[in-house]
Amino acid sequence: MPRRYVAVCGASEASDAQLHAAHEVGKLLAEAGAVVLNGGLGGVSGAASEGAASAGGTVIGLLPESHRAGANKHLTIALPTGMGQARNVLIVTAAQSVIAIGGGWGTLSEIAIAKRLGRTVVTLDSWPITGLESVATPAEAVRKALE
């Protein structure tokens, strides 16, 4: 069976609870054999990367700058895009589903683009938007993203 690609999106300035959830989501995705995609920096991306790496998973970070400086150390592959926030389009386009944790305008843009592309979007402690599947636990988020 082909590997599933799941983007984990969220705030760079996340709460402790959101960081814990992102770490657990990354770990559970890796344990399920999924490739984790994210923005490659800190916050939710960093926590999800750390969780996935701790479980031996593959983590791809699409970085906003044209260099790798600042990339989190848990990435398997760090891809500089030189696209700034526009790299959000690449993240959700490369993913088959998206888990959004926490808020932030960048997260909202990723949610909107993913929905326009027809991707499954699951939210965990994120934007309360009608039409999105909101869940209460990392395990639920991963289960829905992998369906």
Q: What is the mean pLDDT of residues 65-81?
A: 97
Q: Is the pLDDT higher at 1 or at 144?
A: 144
Domains and CATH numbers, the chain: 11-100+112-129 (3.40.50.450)
| pLDDT of 2 higher than 80 | no
Integer Cα distance of 131 and 134 in angstroms: 9
CA distances from 78 to 17, 23, 63, 66 (A): 26, 18, 7, 11
What rounded mean pLDDT belongs to the chain? 96
Task: Tell me the whole-structure pTM to 2 decimals.
Answer: 0.96
Q: How many residues does the chain have?
A: 147
* pLDDT tens figures, 97-144: 999 999 889 999 999 999 999 999 999 999 999 989 999 999 999 999
